[in-house]
């Protein structure tokens, strides 16, 4: 496990740092990729990360790797963001069962779509409150680790 983590995560990060990417810029790319990667709208984070990296001139591969690593977390946080959005706007919690959704769609497809667009918008508002703080905390945590990586020589391969 340790060897795989080193090969898949640590070595590529160290390679980025030796190719002129500063620890601060790499930490920013990773922090943004991880925080944007939890956006409660499936299928949007890759494009959003690409646009952010281009606009902020951040390392495109690093932000995308962080985004992809955040995917399991995105799935785990969907329901909490939906519920936080409902709480934030004083709405009842969302009943997200497959049977309930199928019944709603069968009875009123347009109404269901509009309802879930509202649910998603409220979840986005909740995410918008949490994501900047998460990105800032991740940046503060990652930057010193990346600075330390630049000072340590790469271990010899066995």
Whether 126 contacts 85, CB under 8 Å: yes
Asked if residue 92 lies in contact with residue 82, where contact means CB atoms within 8 angstroms, the answer is no
User: Which residues touch 156 (CB under 8 Å, ≥6 apart)?
Assistant: none
Higher pLDDT, 116 or 136: 136
**pLDDT given for residue 19 in this prediction:** 80
Tell me the C-alpha distance between 51 and 28, whole Å.
14
List pLDDT tens digits, range 125-139. Answer: 999 999 999 999 999
Higher-confidence residue of 9 and 114: namely 114
Band of pLDDT at residue 153, cut at 50, 70 and 90:
low
For the chain, the 3-state helix, strand and coil shares in percent, each to the nearest 5, are 80, 0, 20
Q: Which tens digit of pLDDT belongs to each residue from 4-51? A: 877 777 777 888 877 878 999 999 999 999 999 999 999 999 999 999
- Predicted confidence (pLDDT) at residue 70 exceeds the cutoff of 60: yes
Domain coordinates in residue numbering, the chain: 2-151
Q: Span 127-153, mean pLDDT?
A: 92
**How far is residue 119's CA from residue 116's CA, in Å, rounded to a whole number?**
5
**Residue 59 pLDDT exceeds 80:** yes
pTM for this predicted structure:
0.84
Model confidence pLDDT, tens digit, residues 81-113: 999 999 999 999 888 788 888 898 899 999 988
pLDDT at 101: 84
**Structure-token pair, residue 40:** 């409660």
Whether 40 contacts 78, CB under 8 Å? yes
The b-or-e profile of 127-146 (16+ CB within 10 A means b, else e) is beeebeeebeebbeebbeeb
């Amino acid at each position: 496990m340790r060897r795989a983590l080193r090969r898949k995560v640590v070595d590529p990060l160290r390679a980025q740092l030796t190719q002129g990417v500063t620890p601060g810029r790499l930490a920013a790319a990773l922090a943004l990729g991880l925080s944007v990667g939890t956006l409660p709208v499936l299928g949007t984070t890759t494009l959003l990360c690409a646009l952010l990296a281009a606009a902020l001139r951040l390392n495109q591969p690093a932000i995308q790797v962080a985004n992809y690593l955040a995917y399991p977390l995105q799935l785990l946080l969907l329901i909490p963001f939906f519920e936080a959005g409902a709480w934030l706007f004083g709405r009842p919690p969302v009943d997200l069962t497959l049977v309930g959704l199928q019944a709603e769609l069968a009875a009123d497809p347009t109404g269901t779509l509009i309802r879930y667009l509202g649910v998603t918008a409220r979840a986005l508002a909740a995410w918008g409150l949490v994501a900047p703080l998460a990105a800032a905390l991740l940046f503060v945590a990652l930057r010193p680790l990346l600075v330390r990586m630049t000072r340590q020589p790469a271990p010899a391969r066995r």
